[in-house]
Amino acid sequence: MNGTIIEVRFFAALRERVGEEVLRVSPPAAVTTVAALCDWLTTEYPAVGIALEATPRRMVAINEELATPDSPVAGGDTVALFPPVTGG
């Protein structure tokens, strides 16, 4: 995946903790799943690591489709991370 861009969007409390709404990143080729992307982000961006640790339960979408930590990611994808949503 090296040389390709993934757009990572943060919402709600995650956005506040990261301090950014969007990161455009180029992870190494070994990053092929959402979980691997989050692990890589944690090591490369300390604020993201702190935010993800503070929000261990979170939802993810890839290109506006709900996904799981095992879902594949590729260059050109938009990955959205957000806390669980509750209704009322």
Tens of pLDDT, residues 26-57: 999 999 999 999 999 999 999 999 999 998 88
The span from the CA of 30 to the CA of 85, in Å, is: 31
Tokens of 27: 């992870």
- 4 confidence band (pLDDT: 50, 70, 90): confident
Question: What one-letter code names the amino acid at 13?
Answer: A
Q: State the sign of the Cα–Cα–Cα–Cα dihedral 83, 16, 11, 49.
A: negative
The pair of three-digit structure tokens given for residue 69, joined into one six-digit string: 């930590």
pLDDT mean over 16-31 = 95
pTM of the model: 0.91
If you compute the radius of gyration of the chain from its CA atoms, what whole number of angstroms results? 12
